[in-house]
Amino acid sequence: MNNDAEAALEVIQSRGVLDQVEVAFVLGTGLGNMAEAVENPITIPYADLPGFPKLTISGHDGRLVIGKLEDTTVAFMQGRSHYYENGDSRAMASPLETLALLGVHTLILTASAGSTNSSFYPGAMMLVSDHIDFNGLNPLIGVASDGGFVSMTEAYDPRLARRLKRAVLRAGVTLHEGVYMWFAGPTFETPAEIKMARMLGADAVGMSIVPEVILAKRLALRVAAIAMLTNFGAGFQSGNPNHSQTREVAAQGAIGLKRLLRAFLRTKEEAWIGTKE
């Protein structure tokens, strides 16, 4: 663990967080208000937390909110850092290490994304089953010794995915499932890139999630990711994405996502068969 993560942990504890935090959520563009439902929230601006990002993008709040939701101690990161902000694919390393130090074992990432699947309409959500890291910007490049050889075979935890799918029934929302392909941004893709993404097997494209999943797997966190589909990819089904549309559609979809995440917390974990990694 690095010094920033330990220093951030001290700040968080000094603000009154003494319980183990079990589940953490990273909230993407337009989704930040999901943290409003947290009971007895302790809210800490990222600016007070060493190693947390300085946010530059509208639609991202820059606060850590910790409290109770559905009888679970949870943390919401309202806003994330993206590779395209400073060219650092490790930008989320310290915040994720801080969450691990708080005791978090389960990480649910959310982000807006463009659909590249003609059956997945804007406004719907997609559970990420797997990803394509097209950029060659793996955040573990340069990590000393053997620490970078992290298995990505089950990067998206199958048990968490099943629990989310059971929660869908309770929440009354639609959750597609598919492959997310990471583009560095900040430009949206060209129509030719979207065509390529479809040929390679992507159901959605976006500018986040992937480096966080890789960093979280290295910390042995169990990960799930939900993409809020805000548009069709550029040139596909007349898709022509822009940032304000992305924010607007994500904010509308946040209602369903909120229901899903609460239902997820109410849905019991399957019994564990085998050894815990």
The residue ranges that bind ligand HPA (CB under 6 A) are 112-114, 183, 188-189, 205-207, 230-231, 233, 241, 246
- Which CB sits closer to ligand HPA, 214 or 227? 227
* Single-letter code of the amino acid located at 92: M
Smallest distance from the beta carbon of 264 to ligand HPA, in angstroms? Answer: 22
Q: Check whether the bond before 45 is cis (ω within 30° of 0).
A: no
| Interatomic CA distance for residues 209 and 128, integer angstroms | 10
C-beta of residue 27 within 8 angstroms of C-beta of residue 34: yes
Q: Output the CA torsion 144→207→110→275 (10° steps).
A: -30
Neighbours of 268 (CB within 10 A): 7
C-beta of residue 250 within 8 angstroms of C-beta of residue 227: no
Smallest distance from the beta carbon of 232 to ligand HPA, in angstroms? Answer: 8
- Provide the pairing of β-strand 125-133 with 63-69: unpaired
Smallest distance from the beta carbon of 161 to ligand HPA, in angstroms? Answer: 22
Report helix, strand or coil for 272: coil
- Which CB sits closer to ligand HPA, 86 or 187? 187
- Which CB sits closer to ligand HPA, 97 or 193? 193
- Which CB sits closer to ligand HPA, 52 or 83? 83
Which token pair is 111? 């982000």
Smallest distance from the beta carbon of 240 to ligand HPA, in angstroms? Answer: 9
- Which CB sits closer to ligand HPA, 64 or 113? 113
Tell me the CA end-to-end span of the chain in Å, nearest whole number.
19
- Which CB sits closer to ligand HPA, 61 or 97? 61
- Which CB sits closer to ligand HPA, 73 or 236? 236
Smallest distance from the beta carbon of 117 to ligand HPA, in angstroms? Answer: 12
Smallest distance from the beta carbon of 275 to ligand HPA, in angstroms? Answer: 38
What values do phi and psi take at 114, rounded to 5? -100, 135
Looking up tokens 């989320």, which residue turns up?
92
Q: Which of 11, 250, 265, 215 is nearest to 125 (CA)?
A: 250
Smallest distance from the beta carbon of 80 to ligand HPA, in angstroms? Answer: 13
| Interatomic CA distance for residues 107 and 99, integer angstroms | 9
Smallest distance from the beta carbon of 230 to ligand HPA, in angstroms? Answer: 5
- Which CB sits closer to ligand HPA, 78 or 208? 208
* Single-letter code of the amino acid located at 198: R
Q: Which of 186, 177, 220, 166 is nearest to 57 (CA)?
A: 186
